[in-house]
Amino acid sequence: MGKANRERRGAKEKERGRGRQGQGGDAFGSARWRSRSSPEEIVTDLLTAALDAQLDRDEAGFSQCSTALAEAPAELRPVIDRLLLAMLNDHVTFAWRNGWQPADVIRMVGREHGARHVRLATDAIAAEMRAYAPATVDERWLDQLATLEARVWWRRDDEYLREDGDRLGMITRVLQLVFLLAALPRIERLCPLPGGARRTARPAGRAVDERMLARVRALLAKAESTEFEAEAETFTAAAQSLMARHSIDAALLAAEAEDRSVADGPEGRRLGIAAPYEAPKAMLLDVIATANHCRAVWSRHLGFATVLGFPADLAAVEVLFTSLLVQATTAMRLAGSRRDGFGRSRTRSFRQSFLAAYAQRIGERLGEAAGEAVQQAAAETGRDLLPVLAARDQVVDEEVEKVFPDLNVVAAGAVSNREGWLSGRAAADQAVLDVRAEISDRGA
């Protein structure tokens, strides 16, 4: 039975191959394409066949279709380019409707393909965004576009296809990108779609002080670059103190806002969790998020985690995660490789355990630092801050349940290398966060 099934499948694939070969090669023979009702028909057939070949993992069929498109008569090339551009535009829009944002798409393209695909995707995003008035695009969306430098730099749309003398390569990239966009699964929508946003001034308690973030980033950059442990601790402590106090101030402003329905409202952002050692990296993000009144949900198969929280806290999580991950990776690599008594490599288990221990210890230290920050702020303001912060935590938890109704909690994985565990905890101790450190403008 199994053999018969395999034979039938093989015959089916051969038939598909013959069909695609008929659509490739001489597909644009003058007699053939002129017999069609329009040039668009045969081009559409070939584009569809190429995408079907990718779905079936039929490399030969995909190559035949791509080559036929690349070698089409000159009079058909404008038609091909126009349909390629339309496919790109439609599939970018499709990605938005499935919950993806610009940074998410570019991150996924970078995981699956190279720099030229990333440039093509960035330009396709810029082209698609022309359809929306800026006032109808969420600020978070616009921030991502600015960070990606997604802008229309071309005079004619076919210029951003970047043929550069390699028409086959260009067509291949476009088809691969369209296939990737078509295959993206539906994910949680974190903000209004372009065209549907109504941007207004941020209410009390939701604004993020960009000057504060600039100072934090400067401090963390110094912590990452210094060769002296004591200096790194001072810079990191100063950054954490700035973020913690800004979060507390934002919570107080929100609590005092007259219109609570306007002041309240967590947001979400996605942060990449790159291979290797994804599980302990996700664990590190989770403990940082928890310490900053946020919640992190890891989507392992998509290479990112979604962090939910209030804007000031989300900003703190992002910059702190980025910095501590850099410091952890540097310390891990300085520790070198490992082998057992038989000469077999133990580097992977050592590094996995190193990062897991680092994450756990950072979580402990951040918890202590957060508690001290609350005590210091309470002493300065004369207020009991615990009810205010607890109320915000509850709102965030409710948002998590709303966005992820079927959330499952899984273990981060076992630790198998004692040396790596101890080394990771030691590295985390060196990144001690003392929120009592005095912050000065000179330090920033």
Lowest average pLDDT, out of 137-151, 158-172, 339-353, goes to 339-353
Same-domain pairing of 367 and 269: yes
Lowest average pLDDT, out of 84-88, 188-192, 404-408, goes to 404-408
What is the rounded average pLDDT of the residues 341-363?
Answer: 79
Are the C-beta atoms of 191 and 197 separated by less than 8 Å? Answer: yes
Q: Please count the residues of the chain.
A: 444
Same-domain pairing of 92 and 228: no
**What pLDDT, on the 0 to 100 scale, is given for residue 330?**
79
Same-domain pairing of 355 and 405: yes
* Mean of the per-residue pLDDT values of the chain: 79
Continuous segment of H or E residues that includes residue 299: strand 295-299
Q: What's the token pair of residue 331?
A: 């310390």
Same-domain pairing of 156 and 276: no
Same-domain pairing of 138 and 248: no
- What sign results for the dihedral spanned by CA atoms 141, 147, 150, 153? positive
Distance between CA atoms of residues 30 and 36, nearest Å:
10
**What pLDDT, on the 0 to 100 scale, is given for residue 351?**
85
Query: HSE of 100 in the Cβ direction (CA atoms, 13 Å)?
Result: 25
Among 305, 300, 204, CA closest to 261: 204
102 lies in a domain?
yes
From first CA to last CA, the distance across the chain in angstroms is 72
Q: At what angle do helices 39-55 and 2-23 cross, to 10 degrees?
A: 150
- 6-26 tens-digit pLDDT: 333 344 444 444 444 445 545
Same-domain pairing of 76 and 215: no
Same-domain pairing of 156 and 285: no
Q: Residue 324: pLDDT above 80?
A: yes
Q: Torsion angle, CA of 138/139/145/148, rounded to 10 degrees?
A: -140
What is the rounded average pLDDT of the residues 305-322?
Answer: 89
Q: pLDDT grade, residue 108 (50/70/90)?
A: very high
Among 386, 370, 175, 201, CA closest to 290: 370
What is the rounded average pLDDT of the residues 220-245?
Answer: 67
Distance between CA atoms of residues 100 and 94, nearest Å:
9
189 lies in a domain?
no
Q: Residue 436: pLDDT above 50?
A: no
125 lies in a domain?
yes
Same-domain pairing of 134 and 87: yes
261 lies in a domain?
yes
Same-domain pairing of 16 and 60: yes
Among 138, 144, 114, 111, CA closest to 126: 144
What DSSP string runs through 265-291?
A: --EEEEEE--SSSHHHHHHHHHHHHHH
Give the CA angle between residues 330, 103, 359 to the nearest 5°.
Answer: 35
What is the rounded average pLDDT of the residues 266-292?
Answer: 92
Q: Residue 5: pLDDT above 50?
A: no
pTM higher than the cut 0.85? no
Please identify which residue in the block is written with the tokens 């499948």: 9
Same-domain pairing of 262 and 372: yes
**What pLDDT, on the 0 to 100 scale, is given for residue 424?**
55
190 lies in a domain?
no
According to DSSP, the residues that pair with 304 across neighbouring strands are 272, 299
**What pLDDT, on the 0 to 100 scale, is given for residue 214?**
73
Among the three residues 183, 200, 230, which one is the final residue of a domain in this structure?
183
**What pLDDT, on the 0 to 100 scale, is given for residue 439?**
29
Q: Which domain holds residue 426?
A: 210-430
Residues with Cβ within 8 Å of residue 402, at least 6 apart in sequence:
none
What DSSP string runs through 224-270?
A: HH-S-HHHHHHHHHHHHHHHHHHHHHHHHHHHH-S-HHHH---EEEE
Among 36, 61, 32, CA closest to 49: 61
Among the three residues 166, 183, 200, which one is the final residue of a domain in this structure?
183
Distance between CA atoms of residues 440 and 94, nearest Å:
48
Q: pLDDT grade, residue 173 (50/70/90)?
A: very high
**What pLDDT, on the 0 to 100 scale, is given for residue 316?**
84
Domain count, the chain: 2
Among the three residues 183, 201, 218, which one is the final residue of a domain in this structure?
183
User: Sheet of 267-272: strands edge to edge?
Assistant: 267-272, 304-309, 295-299
Are the C-beta atoms of 46 and 69 separated by less than 8 Å? Answer: yes
What is the rounded average pLDDT of the residues 47-57?
Answer: 96
